[in-house]
Amino acid sequence: MPRIALIHTVPALVQRFRPLVEEALPAWERVHRVDESLLADTIREGRLTEATEARLAAHVRDAAGSADAVLVTCSTLGEAVDRLRPHSPVPLFRIDRGMAEAAVRQGSRIGVLATLPTTLGPTLRLIRDTALAQGREITVLERLCEGAFAELAQGRRDVHDAMIRAAFDEVAPQVDVVVLAQASMASALDAASDGPVRVLTSPELGIAAIAVALGARDEA
């Protein structure tokens, strides 16, 4: 049985991703690893440092030694994942690429909500690079829900979710689609998914895109 290793920086995401991967990749064994320091150190430094990227690289190498594919579920680390991919002996994925591709396909006016500035920048660059690759013209409206991640870290998800909903209400009338930059935000706008503005989150879209990629690999 092939094995996929998931590297998380938020412990709660293990439960979030477990059923998604089981459904999308039923023939794959799942292994979950958590290192909160990767995100904590990036938040503290205000940027992804070489030392943190080196620790991520070590996790990827270690995971690749016993897995057939590796997924990093933290969008803050997405650009580091892209840099590490050419050196990985197995397929290496960042969780937010599928979401970015869907956003560019579905709208020319894209709203991006994030709770961390260290995630907002990489997400904006990914969406713009994706639009360029697809030959599409887009406009992006960004909003940082400052303080929301700290509320979540203190166990106050209701406050975290309320802050995201307030930002959504401000941005939604001006865009075609809204992207939630972090997997930890994914449940905050479940109720908004039936409205006129599509809400895109990385867990479901990311896993779906990875399943397609791994399915194509298995069929080759």
Q: Is the Cβ–Cβ distance between 100 and 35 less than 8 Å?
A: no
pTM: 0.91
pLDDT (tens digit, 0 to 9) for every residue of the chain, 220 residues total? 999 999 999 998 999 999 999 999 999 999 999 999 999 999 999 999 999 999 999 999 999 999 999 999 999 999 999 999 999 999 999 999 999 999 999 999 999 999 999 999 999 999 999 999 999 999 999 999 999 999 998 999 999 999 999 999 999 999 999 999 998 898 888 644 556 888 999 999 999 999 999 984 554 4
Q: How far apart, in whole angstroms, are the C-alpha atoms of residue 126 and residue 97?
A: 7
Phi, psi of 193 (to 5 degrees): -65, -20
Torsion of CA 3, 8, 12, 16, to 10 degrees: -50
DSSP H helical ranges for 77-201: 78-84, 97-106, 117-134, 148-153, 157-171
Q: How far apart, in whole angstroms, are the C-alpha atoms of residue 197 and residue 175?
A: 7
Q: How far apart, in whole angstroms, are the C-alpha atoms of residue 102 and residue 88?
A: 26
Q: How far apart, in whole angstroms, are the C-alpha atoms of residue 79 and residue 85?
A: 10
Q: How far apart, in whole angstroms, are the C-alpha atoms of residue 144 and residue 56?
A: 25
The CATH number of 3-95+205-219, from 3.40.50.1860, 3.40.50.300, 1.10.1040.10, 3.30.1330.10, is 3.40.50.1860
Establish whether domains 3-95+205-219 and 97-202 are of one fold.
Answer: yes
What would be the CATH architecture of the domain defined by 97-202?
A: 3-Layer(aba) Sandwich (3.40)
